[in-house]
Each structure stands twice: as structure tokens, then as C-alpha cells.
Structure 1
Amino acid sequence: MFLKSLCLFSLLLISTACSDNPLLLNDIAKKRDQVVYGDDDRVDYFNSSSVHEIKMSEATAGIFLSSDLSETAEHYYIQRSYLGKEYGLCSRERFYYQSVGPRCSAILVANDLVLTAAHCIQDQSVCDKDELKFNFDYKLKNSFDVLDYLKKSETYSCKRLLYHSDSFQEDFALIQLDRPVVGHKPIQSFQKLEQTNLENKLGMVGHPLGLPQKIARNGQLRRWSNFSGILEIDAFSGNSGSAVYNEDSGALVGVLSKGETDFEDTGECLKVRNCKSGECSGEVVYFLTKLTSIIERYKLDKNQSFDKPIPQRPIIFSSFFEEEIPDGNYKGLKSKLRVNLLPEGKNVYIGVEIEHEWIGDLKISVVTPGGKEVLLRNREVWKAKNFEGLFGINLVSASSLSPLKEVDQKGEWTLKVIDTSRGDRGKLLNWRIVYYQ
């Protein structure tokens, strides 16, 4: 897909919600996409001498599908190919002949507890059926190293899904492993939200496209809120759940969730997409905010239950295509989003993220495929220049959202944003439709 920034992670949620396959991590790998910004700053583990990078690397795990592995007495052999063949890449692409294996990434935060993105694991049944393996040694030790199997001593299973939240404000899962991890120290330092700012230089460790562990450097926050940020960093599918950390302090900042499309099609092969700074929509990182207290409580008592139950997963349809809002034009902006699933009685919420010099001028509504228009906002005063949230959750809708749950037609939804006065400019950064029981 080659639109500037149309995010398809909504489709993966539809797949995981409706399919008999509880993981579909292959679909996740293709749809929770990312991209290269400027120069490709990814390096292999053996090329790093940074204390912080090595510490983060040693605590990073690749998440494998058990169905991608064949078991022997001491090893799991990987039943996947090399990067170029797996993705149909052009032969000059970096890491073309390196093997691929993991479908997501995770980070060790206690001796038997890993943190990853919630969309990488659906529910407790994945643990019960032993459908995932977590390996801490899928990285190249030198330029001649070949990885075609996993040592069982470095490979762990999922015991308990401790915390799981895949929502507008979070994409986190905390997973208790089947035994304490040996030979790898968990990350102990977590960055507080008030320490996060646009000056932070951020790094990331994970498994882009399922490759042996890669370290991405020189990440830069473009903007951020209380729970997430837009980050420019060289990331790809497979980096979902990757640790994002402060390069200066080594503190864990959050985990990567989703972003830009990986590739461009030349007609004969795929090449990695390259974005200049500020050109593309960026990668989404979710900050730890609430999780640090849960992790600390877990360390004190591993058998306790936690406040937030594992909820039914929302079904999310999203557009990250940035669009200018016409200034003082009553025709306004009409942003389209195609939805191929009916709500069937589920609650429907509308999420928006808008930057505008005067939010108070805006009138916002949503139109269903059948033509029903629901007013969401009608020129209410808003002092900040950023407007972000979910109508029906943390934003108050100007009219009832109940008619949306009765929609009986699949097809094109429209978000209408009208700037009612001249002199102030802004843009719609993204919007989404959320089905949730």
C-alpha cells in the first residue's frame, strides 16, 4: 500500500476477532507496518559497544509461532526462509540473505515477565495451547553467524497473560513465562512521563521483519500525549512490542505498536520505503505510564490478581492519512473510511486526533454508510491546540452515539470536520471507528 499513511492495523483486529486462528501473527507482521526514516540506522547486535544497547539487547526476546518451529531433543528448528525470499525483496536490500523467524518482539521486565504489544497475543488460550515461544538469543554474534535453530535453554513458553489492553490509549500485554529467565537481566529502569520530551534521543531493539535482533538508533519524537507518541525511527513489522528506550539514560520509555507501510513495489520486487523527516506519519510508541506500578507489584507477589481484567478486544478501523482542514469553509473536510463489518449491537466510538490553531471553531460529525449523520462536536471552547480522544469515552459527544450501534450497512463512513471561522489553520492527523461491547 502506497498511500502516505493509511494504517491497516484495524484489519488485523478484525481477523483476530473473527477467525478461528487465535494469533494470525503473519497478518500482524504485514499490517502493523513501519518504515525507514532518512538513513537506515539499524545495526546488528555484534556491531554495538554501547552499554545501554547491549543491556536492552540482552533483555529482548523474539516471539515465535510454535507452528513455525520443529522440535528436537535440544533445539527448535525454524521453518521459515531468508528475508529476500520471504518478502520478495529487491536483491540490493539490506539483510537480504539473513534468516527470519520471530513475528513480534518483547522485553524482559522481571525475571519471568515480558512486556510486548497486546496485538501480538490474543488471550490466555494462546498460553494454554503453547502457541508461542519466546527466545532471547536470536541475534548474530558475528558477520558469519547463521541462525537456523533455537536453543531450548534460551526458549520459553507463555504461562499466564497477566495484563492485556489493546485500546485507543494502550497496546500492552504483560506475560508471565513458564520459568525464570536464566542468563538475561530484566530491565529495571523506567522513564517517567514527565521526563519525556521532544529532545529525547530514543533507541529501539527488536526483530524487524522477523530478522535476527536489530538495534535502531537516533529515534526522534515528533509529538506526544499522556499515553503515546509519534516517533521517527527505522522500524518494521516484527518490531511490534520492541523496547523503545532513552539512548542517554538507558531507561525504558515504552513499546512500539504500529506505523508506516514497509515497502514500495517496483513492479518486479519490493524495496524498503524511505521517508524524510516529517514526511510520513511516523511510528506509534505507547508509554509505560500505568504499567510500572503493575510490574513492581508483580515482583512483590506473583500470584496476585490485578485491577484491570482482560477485556474483550475492541475492533478498530483506522485512517492515519493526514488531511488539511479547509480554513473558514463550510463545506469542510470529508475524510472517508471503509468498514467491512457491522457493529451488530456493539457500542461504537469515534476517535480523532486533530491539530488546529483554534479548536473552538470546529464542528465535527460522523456519517454512516446509510447516510445517518451524528454530531460529535459543535464549536465548544477548547484552549489547547491538540484535540485527541474517543467520543463516548474521554470526549463528550454533542449528541447520542446510540444510533451508530444500529448501523446495518457495510461500506464507507465519513468524518466531517468544518472550520466555521477564518484565520486559523489545522489538520486531521488520524481518526478511527471502534466497536466495543
Structure 2
Amino acid sequence: MKKMILLWMIITVGCSCSRKNFETTDLSSQETNGVIYVNDSRKEIADIADSDIQKIAKASVALIDKENIQEDGNSVSLHAQNLRQEFNLCSNQRYAEQQSIANCSGILISPRHVLTAGHCIDEATCGQYKMVFDFRHDTRFYSPESETYHMPRSHVYSCKKITARVTDVGWTAQDYSIVELDRPVTDRAPATLSTRSLKSQESVFTLGYPLGIALKYAHGKVRRDLNANTYLMAIDTFAGNSGSPIFDESGKTLIGLLSGGESDFTYDPQYSCNMIKICPSEQCLGERVFKTSTIASILKKLN
């Protein structure tokens, strides 16, 4: 599964930001998405005081390979290698001990539909991934004793079919999939779509699963409006954030999906491990964000 995603990354001009299988020790040259812009803004959702963001976070979806989900009656458990093991991440890096479980991120856009990046899922992989709500690193869902995440089985949904999908090659192309779920979601509200255009330096935030770990909040800014399909942004995202919803900070409405960007890591030869890449202001290319306003007419028909 990860090999297919890696192939998609190789043939594009930019890079994908979905998880994949890293087979080298030095990952600094790998074309993934992810970087810290000046300071690491990632936070656990439980640490966000804004009630509106907490509500939106309930609509966030982790795309998880069904092989990483164990069912036990009315509950499920999630367990995988941590970031130090999976990516040879240096032990002094943030979240090094959290487990890399999710492959991509997404957002609920109607009671029956999830929106994610086009390179994350297609008809061939529809049956492979589960859509999981509330994959969070807090005491409600995580047991430090067993190092396992637990949640009700009702929080896990299957892909019934792909309603629409486009994944074009290039940094200014469309990249989205609309996933129809196997049943309606009744215990949380879909995200609200915005059709307005953002200007340079406007503040934004995202909710997603960086490097496959539990849900994180991160904020950033618009660098520039590239074309009708794409924003260029400085926002702290990584592999696993593909399909992460981007919201304007003022209105807290959905304005885009993360598609690709900078590489994740720099290599530390002294300790033979990978460090999270940090970009001083304006010194890195930025993150590619697909404008959801370009498919507003499609999304509105789903409600």
C-alpha cells in the first residue's frame, strides 16, 4: 500500500505528504512533506482551549490501514511502531515515542462523506482503509501501560465508494478524493466550507496526523496565492498530513487540503538519526495546499 503512495510521489513535480515505508537510515533526501517553520506550533488537541476548534476537531478523520486495527467486540485498538522506530527519529525530537499509525488525514464534509487528498485513496484502495474519528493522544483513548489506543467501534467507518477523485501531476494541480462512508455519521458536525480567497500573511490552522501520530493542531500563514487551485503556505506539517484540512483562523471555515511540500528530515551524522527539519523564515519553498473553493459546487451537492 505504501509502495503505491511512494510511486505517486516519485512521478509528481512536488512531493506527497502521505505516509510511506522509509527503508533508509538517512531520510534527509527523501521527498516527503513536512517541516517546521521557525517554531514548532504542533499541539495536542486536548491543549487547545478554543471550543470552536475542539468542535471542528471532532470532524477530523485518520485514514488507517485496516491491518493496523484490531477489533474486540464493541471496541477497537490501534498499535504500531513509534516515530523513533519507524523513521529513525532522534530520541530528543518531539513526539518521538508516539506511534505512527495513520497513513493520511481527512475531514468530514457531510454526514456520509470524507474529503482527503486524491493521492491518499482511490477505488483500488477503498477497501483497505478505515476512516477513524477521535484518534487522539489523551487519557480517554490512549493507555500508556499497554501503549495502545482504544476507542469504540462506532468511531470506525469503512469506505463504501469514491464519489469523486482528481490527482493531477504538478504543484498547481487539483488533488482530492471524496469518500462515501458505509453509514452516516450522526454524533458530530461536518466542517463548514468557505469560498473566499485568502491573502498573503493571513493566518490559518490545520488538524491532522503528522508522521501518522495522533491528531495534532498546527498554525501557519499564507505565503501566496499561486493560481486558481493552489495556495503556498508556511505551516508545520509532515508525511501523514496529506488531506489535512486547512482552516482560516478568523472564520474557522475550510479553505483547503494539504497536498505536498518540503522534506521532513535532516540527518544527524553524530547520532546516526533523523532530526525534524526547521526552516528559518522564508528560506524553504513552502507547503502546497489545494483550494477547496474550486470544488465548492461538488461539495455543496453532498449536503
Common fold by TM > 0.5: yes
SS of residue paired to 1:138: coil
Quick one: which amino acid aligns to residue 125 of structure 2? V
Q: CA deviation at 1:283?
A: 0.5
SS of residue paired to 2:119: helix
Distance 1:149 1:171 in 2: 32
Residue 191 of structure 1 corresponds to 194
- Unmatched segments (≥5 aa) in structure 1: 1-8, 17-23, 300-437
Greater relative contact order structure (CA < 8 Å, 6+ sep): 2
Q: CA deviation at 1:237?
A: 0.4
Listed one character per residue, the Cα deviations across residues 197-251 of structure 1 (whole Å, up to 9, x for unaligned) are 1142010000000111000013333443211011101000000000100011101
Q: CA deviation at 1:79?
A: 4.0
Aligned residues: 279
Contact 2:6 2:20 (C-alpha < 8 Å) held by counterparts: no
Residue 395 of structure 1 corresponds to none
Superposition TM-score, scaled by structure 2 size: 0.85
Residue 26 of structure 2 corresponds to none
Listed one character per residue, the Cα deviations across residues 51-106 of structure 1 (whole Å, up to 9, x for unaligned) are 33213211101000112223322333324122222211111100122222111000
RMSD over equivalenced CA pairs, Å: 2.5
SS of residue paired to 2:135: coil
1:213-232 alignment runs, 5 A limit? 213-232=215-234
SS of residue paired to 2:302: helix
Quick one: which amino acid aligns to residue 73 of structure 2? A
Contact 1:74 1:152 (C-alpha < 8 Å) held by counterparts: yes
Contact 2:208 2:215 (C-alpha < 8 Å) held by counterparts: yes
1:222-261 alignment runs, 5 A limit? 222-261=224-263
Verify: 1:297 aligned to 2:297, yes or no: no
1:154-173 alignment runs, 5 A limit? 154-167=155-168, 168=170, 169-173=173-177
Q: Which of 11, 20, 24 is residue 26 of structure 1 equivalent to?
A: 20
- Unmatched segments (≥5 aa) in structure 2: 12-17, 23-29
Listed one character per residue, the Cα deviations across residues 234-291 of structure 1 (whole Å, up to 9, x for unaligned) are 0000000001000111010110001111011112111100001110111000001332
SS of residue paired to 1:125: coil
Distance 1:10 1:207 in 2: 16
Residue 97 of structure 2 corresponds to 97
Q: Give the 3 Å change call, closer, same or farther, for CA 102–14 of structure 1 in structure 2.
A: closer
Distance 1:11 1:86 in 2: 16
Q: Say which is worse superposed, 288-297 or 156-165, in terms of deviation.
A: 288-297
Contact 2:5 2:120 (C-alpha < 8 Å) held by counterparts: no
Quick one: which amino acid aligns to residue 56 of structure 1? I
Contact 2:9 2:31 (C-alpha < 8 Å) held by counterparts: no
1:396-411 alignment runs, 5 A limit? none
Residue 151 of structure 1 corresponds to 152
Q: Radius of gyration: which is bigger? A: 1
Quick one: which amino acid aligns to residue 270 of structure 1? N
Contact 2:60 2:107 (C-alpha < 8 Å) held by counterparts: yes
Distance 1:15 1:103 in 2: 17
